[in-house]
Structure 1
């Protein structure tokens, strides 16, 4: 303590119990969202009764906000440490290393779970504004990685887009890192860093010269005759679920968005899980179609890869977008979730196949195809919220601003 006094055992017990509550609540929040988390579930996880938890956090939203704020604090500490490095590449490497090491310690049970920020907007005001403000401050500090004379070629929109891309690459590692043993994290770090700095373009290819994706056909799934309303329904549901989270988007909300009754909703879907599955199936179909159309170009791997990613990023901002964010999988029943994860993985494997073919022919730089594919999928997921960080972004600008930096390198011109 600042005044030199030693903390009492009671104060230490209070602090330990508070940390245990935050850790338990974060795990439940990540899995069930703000609406699905209950104080009774948190209490049971730490061996308390519900009224004991309210001694620390009076309401559920207070506890959820505290989880988000603690997550921001932990990330801010990593950013502050990484910022001590002498240049942009070494700051990026330090940030990546620190984040993956924290992820490793979480996985080994040595640290509290990392906070998922996908449901920040599900909080009620004024808590939402406070949490969002803290996250925006963190975002600005990470954006500092892209500031200085060497980045004069980037305007504020470029810096915002690349900061969003970098943060989401770290956040989305949670969806694929468990495919690797913790002993492999050092290699994962090196491969991610290599891709983030150098992209996938072969040596000697400049960023602008290499970025020439070909236009692809619209990948929107074709509705059967008389079923056009279904596409409208799925687009509206996807937008609402992405915005409010799986549990935050109620059947009433979805029905109201479409100006239909709950009865009409249940006439077409057995329950909300069935709707989310259909939204995921549509997302997989769009991704699959874009990949197939890129393959059909008969061009080299780089052209196929850049064309597919450009088309999908632009799709996110189209009247048919966005695609359903993968974070909604966590709230599904386990048997349905497994099937959706498999669909998501098949999309990654198709990207990995395109990358592998490109490496073999020399049109794509030699990278780890599977890690690169996961990073591309992470970028595509993040594109759904790109407009939040780059207000006024036009659809035809999105791929240049967001897909190209991943494929040609975060520090490229």
Structure 2
């Protein structure tokens, strides 16, 4: 009887802990770590803040537990998927498992998945602990590419493809909500088709036209000074996350005083918005320049994607990672998401034209454009993943697999 009572007590503890994590994850996804509080989490589950601290003493402990649980869920999905015999079957199983989980979330039968990239905003030692858990997810997902038929693929290329694939999962929450869960099997098939076969036709070749990096960045006068300021801030925010990029650290990175910082920016949120606006303008500029490239839409899309991948690793890059969106106040975030969607919609328009003229495969242009946006967003990490990669080679290593197929040379 004593053991039975202890078991019931343990069950109650775990159920309450899971409820706290569910509530905190939803807040985390809306407001980021910056907006997550123990008080709001407690209110969401009808507990006092003191009661929540019985489970998680600090906000970072709670955020780390949310993200760790999400990573472990994805690792379980990948572990089941890699039991399949072929890379194509593993890929299909992984995305099917992921979308089935999202369907369960929408139906209330599965716990919500957190925005994984928020782990950058955690403080030590929680950040390192969660990064270790993420490393296990990454290594498990990379097993999708472990097959004799892919022996030609170097470790660096497998690593790049794995990061690109995981970004599709991380980014999916931003656009899959446009669809009813009953459509997820169809969406899964379309995503797998794009990943396996690309958007290029069998007649297309990988020969993107060069777009000078200098054309994508401000080059003189006040614009150059502002570009330098925003570039330094972008690099720091990408590296440390919004929370880790304090005004003191940003000022030190730029070698200016805090007073000088506030002379140019009313608040850190304004700086993040300015960094996003810079990034979106670079992407729009690349699209405009690509539209002037001679040839068909395949030439234009591949040239644009190639230029942006190179920009990410060049002295002018990177672009601000989209995970910084969660740190912005809701109204600011809404405006920045609209800007991001306009960039993706232009890619979709270019792809639609290519499908109509026959230079691109008949894929779903909306889904393909979102997958390309996700790929370009993650490309900034390529230098960390494959340290010896050169900016000029970034597109061939990271973008070409999406456009021409992840299992192709």
Normalised-by-shorter TM-score class:
over 0.9
Structure 1 residues not aligned, in runs of 5+: none
Does the 8 A contact of 1:25 with 1:67 survive in 2?
yes
Which one of 292, 306, 330 corresponds to residue 296 of structure 1?
A: 292
2: distance between equivalents of 1:334 and 1:34? 14
Indicate whether 1:159 and 2:154 are aligned: no
Cα displacement (A) at 1:196: 0.5
Indicate whether 1:229 and 2:225 are aligned: yes
Q: 1:85 to 1:5 in 2, by over 3 A?
A: farther
Indicate whether 1:365 and 2:361 are aligned: yes
> What's the counterpart of residue 107 of structure 1?
106
**Which residues in structure 2 correspond to 1:3-402 (within 5 Å)?**
8-202=7-201, 204-205=202-203, 210-218=205-213, 219-222=215-218, 225-402=221-398
2: distance between equivalents of 1:106 and 1:389? 31
2: distance between equivalents of 1:59 and 1:168? 29
Cα shift readout 1:332-366 (whole Å, capped 9, x = no counterpart): 22222222111111111111111111111111111
2: distance between equivalents of 1:149 and 1:224? 52
Does the 8 A contact of 2:86 with 2:147 survive in 1?
no
Cα displacement (A) at 1:181: 1.9
Does the 8 A contact of 1:315 with 1:322 survive in 2?
yes
Q: 1:7 to 1:386 in 2, by over 3 A?
A: farther
Q: Normalising by structure 2, what TM-score?
A: 0.95
Does the 8 A contact of 2:68 with 2:133 survive in 1?
yes
Which has the larger displacement, 79-88 or 302-311? 79-88
1: distance between equivalents of 2:58 and 2:370? 37
- Residue 393 of structure 1 aligns to a residue whose secondary structure is coil
- Residue 161 of structure 1 aligns to a residue whose secondary structure is helix
Cα displacement (A) at 1:108: 3.0
Cα shift readout 1:299-353 (whole Å, capped 9, x = no counterpart): 1011101100000011011111111112222222222222211111111111111
Does the 8 A contact of 2:217 with 2:316 survive in 1?
no
Cα shift readout 1:149-180 (whole Å, capped 9, x = no counterpart): 11111010000000001111111001111122
Cα displacement (A) at 1:5: 6.6
Structure 2 residues not aligned, in runs of 5+: none
Cα displacement (A) at 1:223: 5.5
Q: 1:6 to 1:368 in 2, by over 3 A?
A: farther
Q: 1:161 to 1:356 in 2, by over 3 A?
A: same
2: distance between equivalents of 1:389 and 1:174? 24
Q: Normalising by structure 1, what TM-score?
A: 0.94
- Residue 256 of structure 2 aligns to a residue whose secondary structure is coil
1: distance between equivalents of 2:216 and 2:287? 13
Q: 1:229 to 1:355 in 2, by over 3 A?
A: same
